[in-house]
Structure 1
Amino acid sequence: MANPRKRIYSSYEKKLTPFSTSLVAEFRRAADEIGDLMSDDELRDWAEQGLDLARQSWRSWEAAGEYYRVTPQVLPLLGSVGFKRWAKHGLDLAELSSALAASFYRASPATLPAITPARIGDWVGLGHLLYKGTWRSASLAVQFFDGSPALFAKLNAEEAHILVRFVDALCDRSYDLASHCLTIAAQALEPLEGDDRSAFLTFAESLASTGWADARSYLEKGPALLANIQAMQRGRFLNLARELAHREGRQAFAFFAEASRALAQVDQESHGLLLSLAEELVERSPLAAMEFLKTAPMALERIPIETIAEWHAEGSALLDQSTDGGEAYFRMESSRGEDMLEALSSRVELSRISDILRMYSKALTGAEVAVHSSEALAKKGIGWVEGDAPSTEGSAIFLPPHVEEFPDKAQNFSVYKVYCTHQAGHLEFGTFKFEFERDGAIFPTERIKAEADRPPPEPAPPIDTDGHVDAPGEVTPPPGPLTDMERFFDIFADRKLASDLFAIVEDARIDVLISREYGGIRQPYSERQARELDRRPEANQLPVRQAFVENLVRASLGGIDRIVWPQQLMGIMAEAIGVLETLQQPQALVEDSAEATLRLYRLAEGIANVMPEMLEDWAEVSEGDLNVSPMTADSLGNDAQVDMPQGEPMPYESPQPVDFRGEFKPETVQMLMKLRQERQEKGQASPISPEQLKQMLEKSVEITIADMAQADLTQSSELFLTNLIKELNQQQDQRPGKEQPVPTEDGQPVTGMSTADDEQELPVEPKYFFYDEWDFRAGDYRPRWCRIVEYPVAEGQISYYEQTLSKYSSLVAQTQRQFELLRPEMYRKMKRLLDGEDLDFDAVTEFAIERRARVTPNPKIYWRRNKIERDVSVAFLLDMSASTDEEIAKHERRYQQDDFDDDPRRYFSWWMARRAQELMTPPKRIIDVEKESIVLLITALEAIGDDY
């Protein structure tokens, strides 16, 4: 090392030693690394600048140490001229705070590669912007410089400037929040790219001045929410959010989050259209724009994207007339909005047509049949699991909650009619009234003999559910079948196959009877059958036995020409189709369906469920191949000679369900119907034992209990039995004229699950009804806005009634006199008289018919009016809303002058005395006047004999 440079080192080491030995070490290490990068004069200037830094303040030597330490890394990046400017920026920062200068120097080696030398001044300026002369602002500025390498690795200079302005705005509210946001900024912004990042930060800046409390949530959750928006539309979405921030303040982030989640439910190709429609609203009502985007997914569930503009236009026009009305429209709190959606939608909602279908079902079946959603049946836990398939459990019809299969509302309504008609057909034509020992009208009865020929069932286990152990040699007889339907299915070894075959033949019988009896439904019914045929799987791709069953499904839908079957087995198919055609006679009963099942089972049993490739010559069946007379019922299905190829059979699987036939569970429905009948006859005791239910669950292929395992069968059967009893109780309570009081506690209904230790029945839940409510601001009804809770009120005390009469005795007498003056009597029309004012034309017509038929006619053909009765009935409607709890007139209460003299010990005595005075003379409320008025009115009505 040259002597001049040694002298420089020695000189400055002596000058730096008083500040810190570590500063001297940093100086010497950096000087050695610089080497020939600086001349002696430049080295002297560099050392002097560090010394000036150290002299700035008490701790500024730390900044000088960072300055010396990073010089070997920064000098090659900036060159001599740029290095001097960089050093000067550090000196300027040191005048403000040595910590700022130290952090600036410390961060420079990692930050400078990401920014141009010309931008160093901008970088320093951002630190200046955050520094306010306080220790907290200095700490935040230091944090900014320390985090600059990570920030500038993700952001350009313009984006960094927006970020710092955002953090600076937060400082006015909370330095802790600003510090946290600055800490997570680099990581939070990492998923964003290009224009998205700039727009995201611009919205953040707007949010800081309007909804600053949401800034942290926005940075943490915003990028993931923004990813829900189509990439091309994210800038527009953020600009819309920023406009809302300027206009609506703190609701901006809520809009951003909710609208993002809503748009995530919509096809991204539609985002541009939806944002354009929202932008049309934002100038007139930011809230309307917000609500439009939030409710768009719900609207698009009911209408196609092509018509969303029409729905939007209607709301936009309403917004011009009334801001509140337009906002309610887009919020889906307007009957006008609901009506517009209904007009544009092809979907048919069950809730809107259930009353029509209920009356339609009553007309078909002649009985009161309720119509409910299939979702409600699936939730009962009594064996049904499909929430969108039509079905019945014997007392009601359950249909999908909505149908949107066709673009035309009338066609979708026809789908509902077909669904409902088929289920009503099961009730009308006696599907569930099957009797095992009753003969059919067509087929000879063979099931009794088949039952006698089957192998005896295995004895039950020696230990029953009560833990009783049988004596040695004692065998517990198996419990008998619960229903005739269970007894019938017990005949078959393959219960699933038998159940599938019975469903096919019984559905076919019902379809034929419906088409014959009700011509109005014939065309929609046949169209539905044709549509189902188009959806069927290819029979020649299924194992042979399953192909046999599949072809029977096609035949039952009127698709005999669509049957595909091996030529060598054509005789079997001809026999099977003959059984189906025989069953289609009008006199066929459900017992005939059972006999047809028995015959088809014998045919199917002889067909091995081998793969279709093992048979050749699969071909469509012609009418000539199926030349079977439907009148040969005695021999059909009894002579099946099958020559099947040898091969490993596949496990049998049920055919693809027929959509409009739904879930068919005859065994379960008959069990429910039997339980209902026996409960009505014998009371509340359940006629079904756990052993019988467990046996039924083990055998049945109809009941599916989720996640049932063999080890849990006992527990599952108990749960199933509990659900059955609960359902039967509810149906019994809902019978006309049956009132079930709701338990009350402190005058309020007790509902929900009981936490008491006793095992009493759960309280009956009250009924809830929803009504529209008029919104005077929006000028429209809010759909289903008011919830009315209906429950019988506990009977009150006679003392209140007597006190009211005593208090208003004079008013009672006046009211009675007024009512007695208003005793209107009605002229009642008396018919079927021997003489009177005029002829009774109904009686005259009957007289003429009977005389023409040479039957002695009734001579009572006159009528007249008689004043014989008073026909008056009164119903009182009592307003019991919360507003009736208000006092009628606020009156000033007079209290004795307080005498507790600011003594806390005497204050409580004074307060108790004042409270007692209030209870003795409580203020009168609106509801109190209503109750007193009712007492007076009913007393007056009783005096004149009117009903109320």
Structure 2
Amino acid sequence: MGVEHPKGVSLWSITMPNAQNEPRLRWERHLEAVVPPEMRAALNDTGVADQAAELWEELYARSERLAIRALDALPDVLRRCGEDLLVPWLDLAVSLAASSGATTMKYLRESPWLLGMMETVADRQAAVHYALELADAPSEVAANCAYEFLRHAPELVSLVGREQLARWAEIGLALAEANYVVGIEFFRESPKIAAVLDVEQVRDWVEWGMKLIVLNSLGKPDYVGTLEFFRTSPQLLAALPDRTCCPLVIRIGSRLADQSPEKALAFLADIGNILQRISPPSQHRMVLHYGAQVAERSAAATLAYFQRCPELFHQMAWETEDREIAQVFEVWVHGGLEVLEYSIEGAVSYFSLETARALTSVEKALQGVALRHVRRSLTWFARLICGEEIAIEPLVEEEVIPHASPHQSDAHSIGRGRPVFDLETRTLYLPVFMNRYAELERNFRWYTVMTAHEVGHVAFGTYCLDASLLQKMAQAVAKRYGRLPGNGAPVTTLADLFDLYPQPGMIQDLWTILEDARIDARLQHEYPGLGSDLAVLSKELAEARSLLHGMSVREMVIEALLVKLVHGGLPPAFPRDLYPLMDQAWARAQAIQAPEATPEDTVRIADQIYEFLEQSVGTVSLAASPQAQTLDPRDQTGSSTIALGPRAAEETTALYRPVTNWAYRGTLRPDWVGEKSLAGEETVGTGEEGRQPRASTGQASPRQLNTESNKPGKPASLAQEALQEEHASEAQPLKQWLQGGEVPGTSRWTREGRVFLYPEWDYRLQDYRVSWCQVVEHVGAQENPDRVRAILEHHAPLIRTLRRYFEAIRPETWRRCAGQPEGEDLDMNAVIQQAVDQKAGIEPTDRLYIRRDKRERRVAVALLIDLSGSTGRQIESGAGRVIDVEQEGLVLLAEALEAIGDHYALYGFSGQGRDDVRFIVLKDFAEPWRLQGMQRIAAISPQQQNRDGAAIRHATYKLLCCEARHRVLLVLSDGKPLDDGYLDEYALEDTKRALSEARQAGVVPFCLTIDHQAPNYLARMYRDVHFVVLKDVNQLPDRLPGLYRRVTRV
């Protein structure tokens, strides 16, 4: 019932009585002015008028201003809420006025429209009732809590129902008693929370938030973290892919907050994005379940665990069937939980995928063959087949093949786990992991068959085609179909030729199938052992192959050719009515399996079959013909063994759909096949038919394309931009591990130089931190060599002596080898000994000759010098700095080595932190000493710190790349290893392990130190290698050449 002010009546004139008038009189006069008679009668009959008058009088007694404001709001209350709510509404105003006039004023102003937003009278009454209970609570903040509760009650009641309002009010009041601001914030955010959590979960959520309270610098509680949690967590929880995961997330976050509020907030901020990146979503609860177990023991390990889960699942989804993902994941998690039993730091490293143990556990759990383990043998295998170097590289799922030909769909050009060959760079990209089978041998067979088939195209001339045939074919096809090359361009490649056909996709399918079959047949003929592997694999694939409903007759014939060429039989569901047609197609196709078949034969036969099918079949669709009834309904499901693509061609019209090739075959590129091969470009291969052009196609390699696609661009949205920035900097150690990124020598180029990644030994974990150190190799600066010339002049007599000494120990060109079974001269000592043996009745030796053998020293030496800041200290004798004496030693040793002719290199190292280990090339093995080496030696200066282990590993790698019979590493240092996070026992143990690795690799390490305190730690660090301590640094120039001769005695 509407209530309106009488026209011409001023509310203020009515409600401002004289001072002697009673409040009741004022109330009644106001009702007469603003309430219709019918409503007044109802209010009087029910007794509401009297109750309301008493409450208004009480409010008036507290504040005349508030009472007047209540009269102002009275018409709206009656109009929006009805007379039933008048008394509770005034009662709440009186209770609020007892605590806060300002809050009461806001209540009277806003409550009419707030209550009017609720749909039912019962909802309004419940909201006012619980607000009244809050206002009457014995708390200083009760009024504010009641007001904030009422403000958000309309939205809250729509989400949780009026039955739950009391519990929300109770929780909010309890929070407010602990801290007023926290309680008020709870009520303000309650609708957002209610949209995500049930009230049963809210208490756990609140408990998590209250654990974020910390003490400030004054020792008082700081609620900033809790307030931020209340404001942001509802939105973050709402972003979870599955709301049913909220209780687990809250449980984990609450446990983390017990240990570290900061890590709990970090977990909350990241968990939504982390789960979104984990596929399949069905595994989210498992991830959280194990995360809760980790959280019970370590917050740091929990964050590491969740940060690496997306990468782990990403790799498993690529390498593993869905049913196996949980099993593999559990193996990895249980390994980390075992480490967590004895070392939190070890568990953090494990779950961060920083240790070899963690990565190996995943690799073993995948139960397959990693490319990094077989890459070398596959490289030799490829070289054996095609007679040239073919690089084997890992194919990661983000990479794509070089730009597809005009008849190929990029989306289907490469399927899961298929090889990709880049002709321009002679690189074969293979899956990083192979686990199609439980048996390792069968997985390795896939790798070998993939490799053999792809490099077989190089060995047996797929990319070489007679130019005259190409032109003749182009003329014949153009005449037959009346089609001219696009834009009048000449026909120079097979792709150009295929464009002349009405169905380019169909002719390309035929050529691809036939050429792949020719290569397989040649491989089986040339390599019988490989032929058996191909036969076994082909049989498996053919038996799993099935036809799909809706295929046209031509599509079915081409599909049947694909199967018959590898298996010898037709698909089980092939319609009998098409047997005559298939027999004629097969009569033409089978010639391709002859050992003498050539690439030209492939093109001719493909053309013949194409023309035959065009004339014999037309455009009849099998799906609309009676033959369709012979198809097996099971064929609709396809086969997981076949996998997706590569499509040999794309559907250019509705009349032809491409065929899916066998899973071990890559995509053939007709645009790479043409008369370029006969245009005088460089050719490689084996035999006449194996000539192969190194034609520049203008296409990028898979890695180049991947790099291009990752270049910063304009993302579609700010969210995409944020994700792009996040993932661009995110390292993926599991991918690097499976791709072989931990192998020394794996590098990339940056502005500052070539960057290498090396592991580091952590003695506390008894494990390697994988790819932990980044060694930046760059060429040393150059200066005027006057300093070096001064050294040469000062030590001229010593240098002359050293040169004569080292020239004297240079091996002669020939050496006499006595006691040989054959040779040029008699060994008189052996002859005499033979006579003595005969007299004594001892069986004489037949080694009576002297043979002259060519003697080669073949020594490679790397001198690694510490350039840390400590080398800038002054020597006690006043003879300069340590680095000045090191300079002299290097110059004298270099002059000596020039005399003996050994291969040698001079390196310096320093840096700051594990991500910036500087490896400075002063003279590499192939560089001359004169001028360049001198200029760089002259420029050396004290730098920063020294992380010895990483520098030793890189120097070892440099030595192993050098062809030599004996390899020696001389390490010159002036003190303990010292770097950020590289101290004391940790640094000593890693350096010791790096030297041991060098020795195991066949390098002889020798360490020379000029640290006075060396005996305190050298015995442990250099226990397994030879070392010398120089007490007087001035001895270095004199001692270094002599020590070198001791170490390199061969």
Tell me if the contact between 2:66 and 2:101 (Cα under 8 Å) persists in the aligned partners: no
C-alpha change, 1:528 and 1:601, in structure 2 (3 Å) is: same
TM-score w.r.t. structure 2 length? 0.60
1:575 and 1:592 map into 2 onto residues whose CA distance is: 17
Report how far residue 337 of structure 1 moved.
0.6
* Residue 393 of structure 1 pairs with residue 407 of structure 2: no
| Unaligned ranges ≥5, structure 1 | 1-8, 132-137, 440-444, 462-477, 622-648, 681-685, 694-704, 707-741, 743-747, 752-765, 844-859, 892-922
Quick one: which of 412, 418, 425 aligns to 2:456? 425
1:217 and 1:118 map into 2 onto residues whose CA distance is: 27
Amino acid at match of 1:291: A
C-alpha change, 1:258 and 1:143, in structure 2 (3 Å) is: same
C-alpha change, 1:566 and 1:749, in structure 2 (3 Å) is: closer
Report how far residue 602 of structure 1 moved.
3.3
1:944 and 1:431 map into 2 onto residues whose CA distance is: 52
2:73 and 2:611 map into 1 onto residues whose CA distance is: 98
C-alpha change, 1:77 and 1:198, in structure 2 (3 Å) is: farther
Report how far residue 822 of structure 1 moved.
6.2
Quick one: which of 218, 221, 224 aligns to 2:232? 218
Give the SS at the match of 1:561.
coil
* Residue 286 of structure 1 pairs with residue 299 of structure 2: yes
Tell me if the contact between 1:154 and 1:189 (Cα under 8 Å) persists in the aligned partners: yes
Amino acid at match of 1:258: D
* Residue 316 of structure 1 pairs with residue 337 of structure 2: yes
- The residue that corresponds to 2:929 in the other structure is none
Tell me if the contact between 2:814 and 2:853 (Cα under 8 Å) persists in the aligned partners: yes
TM-score w.r.t. structure 1 length? 0.66
Amino acid at match of 2:539: A
* Residue 796 of structure 1 pairs with residue 809 of structure 2: no
1:38 and 1:348 map into 2 onto residues whose CA distance is: 90
Moved more, 522-531 or 558-567: 558-567
Give the SS at the match of 2:620.
coil
Give the SS at the match of 2:681.
helix
Amino acid at match of 2:357: R
1:544-943 pair list within 5 angstroms = 544-562=553-571, 570-607=579-616, 608-612=618-622, 651-668=655-672, 677=681, 767-775=754-762, 778-789=765-776, 793=779, 796-797=782-783, 799=784, 801-806=785-790, 810=794, 825=809, 837-839=819-821, 864=851, 871-877=858-864, 886=869, 888=871, 934-935=890-891, 937-942=893-898
1:166-223 deviations in Å (ceiling 9; x for gaps) = 67878769xxxx9887555424533544534554444344446573474366245224
2:351 and 2:431 map into 1 onto residues whose CA distance is: 27
Report how far residue 121 of structure 1 moved.
4.9
Tell me if the contact between 1:211 and 1:251 (Cα under 8 Å) persists in the aligned partners: no
2:467 and 2:356 map into 1 onto residues whose CA distance is: 54
C-alpha change, 1:924 and 1:887, in structure 2 (3 Å) is: farther
Tell me if the contact between 1:825 and 1:871 (Cα under 8 Å) persists in the aligned partners: no
For the aligned residue pairs, the C-alpha RMSD in angstroms reads 5.3
Give the SS at the match of 1:433.
coil
2:198 and 2:341 map into 1 onto residues whose CA distance is: 39
2:565 and 2:522 map into 1 onto residues whose CA distance is: 13
- The residue that corresponds to 2:96 in the other structure is 90
1:802 and 1:53 map into 2 onto residues whose CA distance is: 99
Quick one: which of 199, 214, 235 aligns to 2:247? 235
Amino acid at match of 1:147: H
C-alpha change, 1:139 and 1:172, in structure 2 (3 Å) is: closer
Report how far residue 288 of structure 1 moved.
2.0
C-alpha change, 1:147 and 1:616, in structure 2 (3 Å) is: closer
Quick one: which of 436, 439, 451 aligns to 1:405? 436
1:390 and 1:809 map into 2 onto residues whose CA distance is: 62
2:654 and 2:130 map into 1 onto residues whose CA distance is: 76
1:39 and 1:449 map into 2 onto residues whose CA distance is: 108
Quick one: which of 363, 385, 391 aligns to 1:364? 385
Tell me if the contact between 1:566 and 1:616 (Cα under 8 Å) persists in the aligned partners: no
C-alpha change, 1:452 and 1:118, in structure 2 (3 Å) is: closer
Tell me if the contact between 2:267 and 2:303 (Cα under 8 Å) persists in the aligned partners: yes
Tell me if the contact between 2:237 and 2:272 (Cα under 8 Å) persists in the aligned partners: no
C-alpha change, 1:185 and 1:826, in structure 2 (3 Å) is: same
- The residue that corresponds to 2:838 in the other structure is none
Report how far residue 596 of structure 1 moved.
2.6
1:806 and 1:260 map into 2 onto residues whose CA distance is: 66
Quick one: which of 295, 307, 316 aligns to 2:308? 295
* Residue 342 of structure 1 pairs with residue 353 of structure 2: no
Moved more, 71-80 or 775-784: 71-80
2:673 and 2:137 map into 1 onto residues whose CA distance is: 77
- The residue that corresponds to 2:400 in the other structure is 378
Report how far residue 306 of structure 1 moved.
2.7
1:459 and 1:112 map into 2 onto residues whose CA distance is: 78
| Unaligned ranges ≥5, structure 2 | 1-12, 214-222, 317-323, 632-652, 685-693, 700-707, 710-747, 826-846, 875-879, 905-1050
Give the SS at the match of 1:279.
helix
Give the SS at the match of 1:557.
helix
Give the SS at the match of 2:392.
strand
Moved more, 522-531 or 209-218: 209-218
1:315 and 1:31 map into 2 onto residues whose CA distance is: 77
1:676 and 1:339 map into 2 onto residues whose CA distance is: 50
Tell me if the contact between 1:89 and 1:124 (Cα under 8 Å) persists in the aligned partners: yes
1:123-202 pair list within 5 angstroms = 123-124=134-135, 128=139, 130=141, 142-154=147-159, 156-163=165-172, 183=188, 185-187=190-192, 189-202=194-207
1:11 and 1:750 map into 2 onto residues whose CA distance is: 82
Tell me if the contact between 1:181 and 1:215 (Cα under 8 Å) persists in the aligned partners: no
- The residue that corresponds to 1:253 in the other structure is 265
1:141 and 1:946 map into 2 onto residues whose CA distance is: 90
Give the SS at the match of 1:392.
strand
Tell me if the contact between 1:378 and 1:387 (Cα under 8 Å) persists in the aligned partners: yes
Report how far residue 434 of structure 1 moved.
2.9
Moved more, 9-18 or 261-270: 9-18
C-alpha change, 1:837 and 1:675, in structure 2 (3 Å) is: farther
Give the SS at the match of 1:432.
coil
Tell me if the contact between 2:392 and 2:429 (Cα under 8 Å) persists in the aligned partners: yes
Report how far residue 329 of structure 1 moved.
0.9
Tell me if the contact between 2:159 and 2:195 (Cα under 8 Å) persists in the aligned partners: yes
C-alpha change, 1:10 and 1:447, in structure 2 (3 Å) is: closer
1:215 and 1:327 map into 2 onto residues whose CA distance is: 26
C-alpha change, 1:332 and 1:217, in structure 2 (3 Å) is: farther
Report how far residue 486 of structure 1 moved.
6.1
Report how far residue 351 of structure 1 moved.
4.7
C-alpha change, 1:248 and 1:532, in structure 2 (3 Å) is: same
Report how far residue 450 of structure 1 moved.
4.8
Report how far residue 37 of structure 1 moved.
3.9
2:94 and 2:235 map into 1 onto residues whose CA distance is: 40
- The residue that corresponds to 2:492 in the other structure is 482
Tell me if the contact between 2:308 and 2:353 (Cα under 8 Å) persists in the aligned partners: yes
1:568 and 1:539 map into 2 onto residues whose CA distance is: 17
Amino acid at match of 1:225: A
- The residue that corresponds to 1:731 in the other structure is none
1:862-914 deviations in Å (ceiling 9; x for gaps) = 764679765543334467xxxx67465689xxxxxxxxxxxxxxxxxxxxxxx
- The residue that corresponds to 1:113 in the other structure is 124
Q: Matched residue pairs, number?
A: 749
